[in-house]
Every structure is written in C-alpha cells, then in structure tokens.
Homo-oligomer: A and B are copies of this chain.
Amino acid sequence: MQIRQATQDDFEQIWPIFQEIVQAGETYSYDRDITKEQAAARWLDKPRRTYVVLENDTILGSYYIKPNHDGPGSHVCNCGYMVSADARGRGLATAMCEHSQKMAVELAYKAMQFNFVASSNEGAVKLWSKLGFDVVGRLPKAFEHPTLGYVDALVMYKWLQLEQ
C-alpha cells in the first residue's frame, strides 16, 4: 500500500468511492445529488492537498487537508477521509489519519479539527479518540441521519505540536 498526492486523473477512481459514501448520507455533509464536477472541486481542487491510498494501481481511499478557517484560524487544519467499501476493516482510515497528522505538522498546522462527526458513526468516534482527538463540542440534532433522524454531531480536535 502506498500513499501519494492525488492527480486530477485520480478522480475517476475517487468518484465512485465518494458517491457511494455521500449517497448513503450517514457520515458526510455533502448534498446527496452532488455532481462529479462539484465533488472534484470540493475534494481535489479547493483543499490545500489531497492524497490517495493505492494498492497496485487501485485507489482504495483518499483524504484532503485544508485550513479549517482563514486568518486568525488558519493554524488549525481540517481533514476528510474516505475508504472504498471493499477496503474497509483493513486499517486504511488509521493509516490516512496518521499520515495526515504528519503532513499537517510539515505544513505548519498546529491543530486538526473535525467539524461534523455524526454521533451515530460510533466507529469513527472511537477511532479518532484512539488517535488522540478529543470531543470538544456536541451539536444537538445537527446531523439528519437517513434512518435515525436528527442525531447530535460532534466536534473533535487534536493539538498536534508536542511543544506548546
């Protein structure tokens, strides 16, 4: 398995992964009917960097890293991770999150924030906690889950620098 920066051509393989996850509506706050072009703009073009995880020439997952805010908030980054349905349970989310934390430090970010983790997504909450993120906020009924209805969304945060 290899992690490298994504190219424009990679979106051909990222798009089916993206579309499956967004259409499920259980984890990401994108419109379910987002177009391929809009998705590429959001995932590939707008972020500071986007990476893919490959096995041979097949993309199994992808993540982006970008500043969570501009100006006085630009030292905190935000990342999003997606793993192909076929490749789940193989530690890809952990590998990508650890890689992104290293990249964040290289890019001189001081902290990483996840803005909108559905509280129903227990696997993600547990994984991010294990990887050092704290739940620093709880947004009441902020996530509309397709079967559970309104559930709380969590804000998770990790300070990345050892020296403060």
What band does the interface of chain A fall in when counting residues whose beta carbon is under 8 Å from B? Answer: 35 or more
Tell me, yes or no, whether A143 is within 8 Å of chain B by CB: yes
Pairs across A and B, CB under 8 Å, 21 listed: A22-B71, A26-B72, A28-B72, A29-B70, A31-B70, A31-B74, A69-B115, A69-B116, A69-B142, A72-B144, A72-B146, A73-B142, A73-B143, A73-B153, A74-B144, A110-B141, A111-B140, A115-B115, A136-B139, A140-B157, A141-B164
Contact across chains for A72 and B25 when beta carbons are under 8 A apart? yes
Contact across chains for A29 and B73 when beta carbons are under 8 A apart? yes
Query: B-facing mask of A121-147, CB < 8 A → 1, else 0?
Result: 000000000000000111111111110
The count of identical subunits is 2
Alpha-carbon distance A160/B34, docked complex (angstroms): 28
Contact across chains for B139 and A138 when beta carbons are under 8 A apart? no
Other A-B contacts than A32-B71, A111-B140, 5 sampled, CB-CB below 8 A, are A28-B71, A29-B73, A30-B70, A73-B143, A136-B139
Alpha-carbon distance A113/B115, docked complex (angstroms): 12
Partner of A69, one of B29, B74, B136: B29
Alpha-carbon distance A36/B84, docked complex (angstroms): 42
Alpha-carbon distance A141/B138, docked complex (angstroms): 18
Report the minimum CB–CB distance from A18 to chain B (whole Å).
13
Which 3 A-B pairs give the minimum distances between C-beta atoms? A137-B137, A29-B69, A29-B73
Alpha-carbon distance A141/B73, docked complex (angstroms): 9
Query: B-facing mask of A24-61, CB < 8 A → 1, else 0?
Result: 01101111101000000000000000000000000000
